[in-house]
Amino acid sequence: MHLNINLDWLSAKGLPILGLDISTTAVKLVELSDAGKGMLRVERYVIEPLPKDAVTDGNITNLDQVADTLRTAWKNLGTRVKNVALALPSSSVITKKILAPASLSGIDLENQVETEANQVIPFSLDEVNLDFQVLGESSGSPDDVQILLAAARKEKVEDRVAAVEAAGLKALIMDVESFATQTAYEQIAHLLPDSGAGQTVAIIDVGAQNMHINILHDNESVYLREHGFGGNQLNNEISRRYGMTNEE
């Protein structure tokens, strides 16, 4: 399996497809279809709670429970689509922008990326899934192209793929959560004045344990961070302050 960082995966030829989010507390599925003119249609979605501690800190700790929950979610969704796009937590992926000569292509480019990866990834390349995306010409060096490099430990990828396959589904795409969120934003950016050009936009995703912040300026990411604060901490603080249980 390769970690496929494909920022253009939302294309008609890949649809319909199921988007899958495995969080700390739930499995979420959404079915997307082609609405024409480059637009997507949400056909249906479902949220299925996960047993406690089935996923901890973004890691699948009980594969059987996650697979069972995903299988139940798929049945409740009422679809025949089995192809799945999912993502790894940003904290599980090492990303870095590098430069490579614009004259390189094919295997020569792959070899160059691998050489660069050996210098920036603190693990043996035998232990990681590695992929890259050519972003375009470098603004500071016209003879080079800018490349987004992404690497994740193999077990992080394999655990999620195993859960999908155990549920009877097929993992087609493995993205990174922060990139997937930005891709979703790009689908609606045209609704903003001037399609977001020249504007600063914050994408904030508050989960149960963590909060992800992506600040875009002129539709380019300029700040991307994960913070260790989420809905659980907020609920606990409210419970403490008002003397209530989390259920209340």
**Is residue 98 a contact partner of residue 135, using CB atoms and an 8 Å limit?**
no
Distance CA 84, CA 179 (A): 16
Fold (topology level) of 92-153:
Dna Ligase; domain 1 (3.30.1490)
In the beta sheet, which residues pair with residue 227?
211
Q: Where are the domains of the chain?
A: 92-153, 192-248
The CATH homologous superfamily of the domain defined by 192-248: ATPase, nucleotide binding domain (3.30.420.40)
* Torsional sign, CA 4, 76, 31, 29: negative
CA 116 to chain centre: 23
pLDDT per residue rounded down to tens, the chain (248 residues) = 333 333 344 444 568 999 999 998 999 999 999 888 777 889 999 999 999 999 988 899 999 999 999 999 999 999 999 999 999 988 889 888 888 899 988 899 999 889 988 888 888 889 999 998 898 888 888 889 999 899 999 999 999 999 999 999 999 999 998 888 888 888 888 888 888 888 999 998 888 778 889 999 988 888 888 888 888 888 888 888 888 887 76
